[in-house]
Amino acid sequence: MKLKHNTETIDIKSRLPVVPLRDVVVFPHMIYPLLVGRKMTVNALQEAMIRDKQLFLMAQKSPSIEVPASDDLFEVGVVARVLQVMKMPNGTLKVLVEGLVRAETVRLAKTDNYLSARIKVIPPDAEQYDRETEALSRKVTEQFAEYIRLNRRIPDEVLVSVASIEEYTQLADTIAAHILHKIETKQAILAAYSIKEQFHILTDVLTEEVEILRLEQKIDGSVRDSMSRSQREMYLQQQLKAIKDELGQADDTSADVEDLLAQLASRAYPQRVKDKAEEEIKRLSRMHPYSAESGVVRSYIEWLLALPWEITTEDRTDFGEVQSILDGDHYGLDKAKKRILEHLAVIRLAGKVKGPILCLVGPPGVGKTSVGRSIARAMGRNFVRMSLGGIHDEAEIRGHRRTYIGAMPGRIIQALKKTESSNPVFLLDEIDKVGKDFRGDPASALLEVLDPEQNNTFSDNYLEVEYDLSEILFITTANTTASIPAPLRDRMEIIRLPGYLEFEKAAIAKDYLFPKIKKEMGVESVTMELRDDAVFEIIRYHTREAGVRELERKLSSVVRKTVLDMAKGKKVRRLAYNRTKVGKALGPRRYIDTDIKKQPTVGYAVGLAWTEMGGEALPVEVLPMRGKAKLTLTGSLGEVMRESASAALSYIRNHTKRFGLDDKFYEDIELHVHIPEGAVPKDGPSAGITLTVAMLSSVTGIPVRTDIAMTGEVTLTGDVLPIGGLNEKLLAAKRNGISEIIVPEKNRKDIPDLQPELLDGLTLHFVRRVDDVIKLAMTEAPQERHKRRTAHHATQHRPS
């Protein structure tokens, strides 16, 4: 049958899948949400979706029947089409259907695990509408308006939609659908063939319902007037409970409140936390369970109760055991290990001490991050790591206020919840790379965290309750202290971790890295030997770093070649890695030592530079040319190094007579200063004496020794100032085969901190003035040559 529905024509099939309905009667012209869970109804729905999305909806006479037969269903139903299907979390289907037209059952049959029916469509009432029909429609509409006014469970917006309906059949179906009445009554309206009969039934039903509702109102009013205050509250609570039961929200909030109260009572909390939690739980109990604010309050209470307030772990105080754990995890790092043992000693004697703030400073790969985990394991504390690199938002530290959508505590508090104790070892990684922008300055927020005098009352914006961070052992790491703000640096105890020497790297490779790599690659059962010549081949010619990260990667690459051969079927029982096998596995040497001239050379001096990767030898070349008082600097030199070159030239020009130079020598020459590897940026003041010696050599023609290296800042008056990174610079000199190094006198204090193995074979010359440097570095001091020439000249011109 063809049915004209709104603006479209629908072909109604004569046989349709049947969906039995419990507790609901569907009317034409209405859209209903239905929950489908029974297997037979799901099968019928699937069949409808495969065909043309048409269903025959029939009401059950008794909702308790699980698998209804034909006698359990009313004969008249509604043909509907499926608009939307949604799968719910519990497995049921939520179906949105639109009623199209009435139909009666001709024959009901069971097919493929679902009911199907042959139907006969009941066409809309074709009777000529008259004044009686109009009068009935107005009466029903008026009664329905009064019914909605008295019945608070139906929204007033329904009246607006009813007022806009012009067709009598649609009006009757819409009103019947919204009446809260028995299934039998609604089915009688659905089964009525004529519109007048439908209106008559509606009039009778609405008249009865309006009278009942008026009586209810009258009874409620008289009862409420006679109630005392306490009885009224009880009545309202019962009404509220009934409403929640009707909406399926019964006891949601009360159950949450009871759970939170039980959690609050389960362990001891500080009084300030307990008071705040009770206040928020009381707020939550007065809120609607599905309101947005209740979710915010519930989340806050859960955070508050989940934190490890006053929960601590017991420190391990056996010094021997702590020392063995630290030594077993890391080679060297004596300063860091000694400081931890001192901290444990204070704990043993004082009972409790504010946690120190240790800052481990050193180049990448020396073990700064991993030493934090080892310290936690040695002390028996929990460990948590927080990377600060690239952080720009202050809220990362202090959290967001609860007024913001999606607010959470800062990462400090989040980490404490994760670690489940209030005294963990807390590693703040890469503290020198904290940034700042319009969202705030995280470094300033860290001032409170890292100050032992303040962090016992740390305030997180989200918590609104002070948290004690004083028992945490904070460890920070950095590659350099230059970029750490001074107030933050002042709160930390700096422990410098210098780059490893070659023998240290070799020991780490053989005792730590190689066994670890074998275990990771599953070849522990294979006997493998890593010989010394193989280790030093990798260290000297395939890596260039202060730490051991690249060394570990290269060792892994070598072992992977063996693993690949074993995977291809090659049998390996015993294997020794020597220089040849390593060279074959890694390919051509990646690094070669800096090409330093072997013989004393004019205008050429060897300096030493510090880099994040360790130290480097830094040859300085100076060439005088014909020109007009110009200084040309090349080699990607930074501003500070350019200023050092200018200072060196000014010193030479100010002492021309002492060096045997003409006062106007600079007016006719151009000095070109170049530092090789021009693509590599270079900066810093420590090349001052190297630039001075190289320039003086170029203008005097006196060669400079190339078997001696130097480092130191120069002033205009000729003083030599101290430098940093001495450990790395001495390591670079030793790597390049230079055994004599010129060092500022004021760096003598740093020598006791250096390892004896580093100083072995080195001769250090401590200098205060540039004159001392010149005497040591140049094959002949310009002053001495000038004196000798002056004396020789005077002898030749003496009268006989």
How much is the CA Rg of the chain, to the nearest whole Å? 45
Tokens of 479: 């590659």
User: Of 668, 662, 654, nearest to 786 (Cα)?
Assistant: 662
CA atoms within 13 A on the CB side of 383: 16
93-111 vs 54-59, strand pairing mode: unpaired
Q: Which one is catalytic: 196, 368, 729, 734?
A: 729
Q: How far apart are CA 370 and CA 425, in angstroms?
A: 12
Question: Is 518 part of the annotated catalytic residue set?
Answer: no
Q: How many CB atoms within 10 Å of residue 436?
A: 15
Return the SS3 of 792: helix
E-only strand ranges, 507-613: 527-530, 574-577, 604-611
Tokens 């090659």 locate to: 570
Strand locations in 578-728 (E): 604-611, 614-626, 630-634, 669-674, 708-710, 713-714, 720-721
Task: Please state, in angstroms and rounded to a whole number, the distance separating the CA atoms of residues 149 and 193.
Answer: 30
Which pair of structure tokens corresponds to residue 458?
Answer: 């740390």
Q: How far apart are CA 45 and CA 49, in angstroms?
A: 6
**Which position has the token pair 């807390």?**
426
3-class SS shares of the chain: helix, strand, coil, % to 5: 45, 20, 35
Question: CA–CA separation, 73 vs 460, rounded Å?
Answer: 64
Q: Helix, strand, or coil here: 745?
A: helix
686 is catalytic: yes
Catalytic residue among 686, 697, 698, 734: 686
Chain centroid offset of residue 184 CA: 61
List, as one string, the DSSP characters of 14-80: SEEEEEEESS----TT-EEEEEE-SHHHHHHHHHHHHTTSEEEEEEBS-TT-SS--GGGB-SEEEEE
Angle formed by the axes of helices 168-178 and 183-191, nearest 10°: 170
The answer to whether 707 and 657 are in contact (CB under 8 A) is no
d(CA 393, CA 399): 10
Catalytic residues: 686, 729
